[in-house]
Chain A
Amino acid sequence: MNAHQESESDEVEALVVDMCRQHDNAPAALLEILHDIQDAVGHVPQSSLAAIADALNLSRAEVHGVVSFYHDFRAAPAGTVTVKVCRAEACQSMGALTLIEDLCRRHGVTLGETSADKGLTIEPIYCLGNCALSPAALVNGKPVGRADVERVDGAIREARS
């Protein structure tokens, strides 16, 4: 670990300790704490797990089990723009899989991963509750109905601007 990384992980640790304290170090608040961390840092860094475990008197394994169970928690920072495309039944029947494939090819990204320039992340999601407008997507939290490559690209441009 270089000095820069070390100071960064110290910072994360201080932040985590503070967030856990705000939830009275209650083990039951683990999910809320993880959301708080992801909101503040953009992801749940590996280096925060031990600090959370220590604050809540849980094992590191338990915290890891919870973090890894929920796809929403990410271990690494996402791209500037995150596209989530629904892969549930209704959207699949309306061509979501092809859409995902096209988007990935066009932007040179593997599904579930972030582009090399850290600009874009494309992820699958399971039902956005927008089945009437299948296939459905979410671009930086903003819903895109009847999604196709052009509409999603438009939303990406908008999110970047």
Chain B
Amino acid sequence: MARLQEIDYGTPKRETDKTVTLTIDGQSVEVPEGTSIMRAAAEVGQQVPKLCATDMLDSWGSCRMCLVEVEGVRGTPASCTTPARDGMVVRTQTQRLEKIRRGVMELYISDHPLDCLTCSANGDCELQDTAGEVGLRDVRYGFGGEKHFGEAAEAKDTSNPYFSFDPEKCIVCSRCVRACEQVQGTFALTIDGRGFDSKVSAGTAADDFFGSECVSCGACVQACPTATLTEKTVEAHGTPNRTVLTTCAYCGVGCSFKAEMQGDQVVRMTPYKDGGANEGHSCVKGRFAWGYASHKDRITTPMVRDRITDPWRKVDWDEAIQFAADRFKAIQEKHGRASIGGITSSRCTNEEVYVVQKMIRAAFGNNNVDTCARVCHSPTGYGLKTTLGTSAGTQNFKSVEKADVILVIGANPTDGHPVFASRMKKRLRQGAKLIVADPRRIDLVRTPHVEASQHLQLRPGTNVALMNALAHVVVTEDLVDEAFVAERCDSEEFGRWRAFVAEERNAPEALSESIGVAAETIRAAARLYATGGNAAIYYGLGVTEHSQGSTMVMAMANLAMATGNFGREGVGVNPLRGQNNVQGSCDMGSFPHELPGYRHVSDDAVRGAFEADWGVTLSNEPGRRIPNMFADAIDGGFRGMFVQGEDIAQSDPNTRHVTAALEALECLVVQDLFLNETAAFAHVFLPGTSFLEKDGTFTNAERRINRVRPVMPPKSGLSESEAVCRLARAMGYPMTYDHPSRIMDEIARLTPTFAGVSFERLDREGSLQWPVTEKAPNGTPTMHIGGFVRGKGRFMITEYVPTQERANRSFPLILTTGRILSQYNVGAQTRRTENSRWHEADRLEIHPFDAEERGIADGEMVSIQSRMGAITLQAEISERMPQGVVYTTFHHPSSGANVITTEYSDWATNCPEYKVTAVQVARSNRPSEWQLEHEEVRRTHYRRSMEPAE
């Protein structure tokens, strides 16, 4: 489409059913009570000139440009700060107003350079537009006086890698400062000085943008009406001329974006205000870190090789597909149908994932399909389905605006899910209470204007104990919502659960020592959660990646059911999904035991429907999970693998075990953007597509199905789904779609929860939250209203079983892992952007006491030794850590964080126990053995084998 310019209504939308009716320029307007005159006027297409107002921010009333006349009111009130009232008669355009506005504009322009033609905002500048609207023809004050531009200008601040700050263009409207406060919630900007000397300042006088508290979300750049804050890409290329609406491919928030383009070149990404997940906000990854898509490391030609020590050979698609198919078929002939399988990726679209699992089930003829969600949110699926009936979070993100108590467990939203964190922080600033359960003092515990009421700094691995202790307080202090439980839950199971958690051994006093949190603190948190109004739980991988991950998910569901926190806005149990399409890839039938829509492969009726549609006979036996694939590869029973967009050699636990398995395979096909760590073991490399080339849908953490639209054709010449279809055909199964929308049509046809979903509807309505069924034709923002999906809510007994991975004298510390704002998972994307400037290497965070005991100084290299292996990292002494616990991120392959993680996993789903590894830390002056090996292998056989032959 041509460049999409969203209407700026000037002030935020009011949400109330009460309305008022007024007359603006002779037109009658009905608006929600509290709406500004400015917004009411914009609703009927009458935009009042403005500079300091924008609809992402509360009105400010400083620019004096939006004055209007109101009958019976003296003077000329500002339309942005004056609420519309019943019966008001407003005029937005009179001779008097014209004169005032022009006079104000003269003052602005007397202190603004007149270099419009060479300015980076030329054609995209609200100051320029407004000067035009008010008919500015002359500046009576001239340009001879004291001013802020020209020789008087302060130096341009270009320290941020993505945008620049040019104070000479600034009109001090404070939109950037307010955006940082109100939208992002970071408060990194301020106005330095006052009066004529006022200027925008990042941090203090000693800081530049990069050195300030700025998190580079870009909300200020978006809010700036002039060229003062501008994307460097706009400076370099000029203003965009067309827009493609699409969805971010980073985390599970799933922000809607306008890709603003010139030809097939992205000029900038701007969050879309109508996007349900983000409502016009973004983070540093989504808005700025898309350069990886055109990084020189991208491989765009298919490649094959006979042995993994051979150099790659560039081939055409047909040869690559045939090569893979021949090998797979040969393996199956020799070792049976079940000897091959594959893994789907949570970064790919629903349609791409669907065709991979279909290829495996229909063309490979087995159920050996698993997905990277195995190693992140599989316990979520299991736990929520068991207790509530649906493998998904219960709310939409907007729900947090109605929450009174927010319990964050094992998640670090300001780093991992920053746009949702901003929405959460907004609610917290309004007064909602916060409880954080995390071994590490994450930013949310205390960050400007937000402070947790309770920080339960528990020992890693004691989640379930904590939940049982909280539940014990609820049950024994009479805080159960008896009416809710009686009406909505299975009473027999509730009775059993009540008796179980009421046992003395589950009391905070009994568990306090194992958890490492004082009993009184646990009691206070439980009381707050149960009695503070709407209570909502948000959680992340700190919940799932444990030996009791599934138990923990059920324990949280128990607690929320017992306190009546389901089935309305502001409550619920909500997984914060790590990757853009974790929810979707699970929905699409990526698990070895489930067909699309979470229906077991042994269910004859369901399987029958797929068999009829697909024209094949499907196996009724669940296939292999990822860990089984690895184990069987080493044993020889599993010999061929198709890996879609996942770097298992870096991301899965116990790296040595994984690489041994991959080395043993006779055919490994990797479909990816880059030659990643896994590709070192591959025989076939099929070049993938970035989100900028994809046509499909992503489903975010709130079950919202969003469209992903291509801004350019696939760089590899072939869409990923087409490549998979060709492979399926070469294997002998006919699979053809003339458009990705046909894939979604098939999904909708075969999956009841997607019944009403189609590209056409998504294009028309923006997004839909599944289930989209006959009963809920417009989707389901809040689940379980009026009753649980499974019928009666099911309380599960959640016995706390400590992990087998224990600290002892040789391994006295517990290592836990997490993410950082600027980087994303294994870093394949973000490491290939300027985001690395914020995080060049993974570090080991260690408590000052633990460091001192070992003679470790800040910044020194330390070795981290577990029962599995050792790695070396730089130490960062940090009071965020409790004593006895160390922490690292895992964004850089050379860190090898997974060399030391163990093979313990969730009892129900095999989700690895990444979050608990007993380690010893010591000073070290050399890389670990693994790192030396890794480097050596990289230098010799990887280099030869990884570099494509010319």
Contacts and interface: CB of A to CB of B under 8 A. Distances in A.
Contacts of B448: 53, 57-59, 62
Interface string B427-459: 000000000000000000011111100000000
B180 to A, nearest CB: 8
B205 A65 contact: no
A60 interface: yes
B187 interface: yes
A50 to B, nearest CB: 8
Interface string B166-208: 0000000000000000000011111111100000011111110
A89 B355 CA distance: 80
B175 to A, nearest CB: 15
Interface in B207-226: 207, 212-213
B194 A69 contact: yes
Interface residues of A, number: 16
B62 to A, nearest CB: 15
Most buried by A among B186, B193, B448, B451: B448
Given A59-B448, A75-B205, A64 B187 contact: no
A64 B190 contact: yes
Given A68-B192, A69-B193, A69-B194, A61 B203 contact: yes
Nearest to A69: B194
A54 to B, nearest CB: 9
B176 to A, nearest CB: 11
Contacts of A59: 186-188, 190, 203, 213, 448
Contacts of B186: 59
A96 interface: no
A46 B190 contact: no
Contacts of A49: 204
A27 B732 CA distance: 70
A58 B181 CA distance: 11
B844 to A, nearest CB: 24
Nearest to A54: B446
A50 B212 CA distance: 11
A62 B201 contact: no
B206 A62 contact: no
B199 to A, nearest CB: 9
A60 B205 contact: no
Nearest to B189: A61
B194 A64 contact: no
Interface in B450-471: 450-451
Interface in A37-71: 46, 49-50, 53, 57-65, 68-69
Interface in A50-105: 50, 53, 57-65, 68-69, 75
Question: Per DSSP, are chain B's interface residues mostly helix, strand or loop, or mixed?
Answer: loop
Nearest to A65: B190
B194 to A, nearest CB: 5
Nearest to A66: B190
B446 A65 contact: no
A8 B287 CA distance: 42
Most buried by B among A53, A64, A75: A64
Most buried by A among B187, B194, B204, B207: B204
Given A59-B213, A61-B187, A68 B207 contact: no
Interface string A108-143: 000000000000000000000000000000000000
Interface in B226-255: none
B203 A60 contact: yes
B206 A61 contact: no
Nearest to A64: B204
Contact of B192 (A53, A57, A64): A64
Contacts of A69: 191, 193-194
Contact of B207 (A60, A62, A75): A60
Contacts of B449: 57-58
Contacts of A60: 203-204, 207, 212-213
A46 B206 contact: yes
A113 B872 CA distance: 52
Nearest to B195: A69
B451 A64 contact: no
Contact of A68 (B205, B212, B451): B205
A50 B189 CA distance: 14
B469 to A, nearest CB: 29
Given A65-B190, A68-B192, A57 B451 contact: yes
Contacts of B203: 59-61, 64
A65 B192 CA distance: 5
A61 B202 contact: yes
A79 B421 CA distance: 47
Contacts of A65: 190-192, 201
Contacts of A50: 204
Most buried by A among B192, B201, B203, B206: B203
B414 to A, nearest CB: 14
Contacts of B191: 65, 69
Nearest to B190: A65
Contacts of B204: 46, 49-50, 60-61, 63-64
A112 to B, nearest CB: 11
Contacts of B447: 57
A53 B201 CA distance: 16
Contacts of B194: 68-69
Given A59-B187, A59-B448, A61-B204, A68 B193 contact: yes
Contacts of B207: 60
A53 B203 CA distance: 11
B188 A61 contact: yes
Most buried by B among A46, A60, A63: A60
A68 B194 CA distance: 8
Given A58-B448, A59-B448, A64 B188 contact: no
A64 B187 CA distance: 11
A106 B454 CA distance: 62
16 contacts: A46-B206, A50-B204, A57-B446, A57-B448, A58-B187, A58-B449, A59-B187, A59-B203, A59-B448, A60-B203, A61-B203, A61-B212, A61-B213, A65-B201, A68-B205, A69-B191
5 closest pairs, A vs B, by CB? A65-B190, A59-B187, A64-B204, A61-B190, A59-B448
Given A53-B448, A59-B188, A75-B205, 7 more contacts: A61-B203, A62-B448, A64-B190, A64-B192, A64-B205, A68-B194, A69-B193
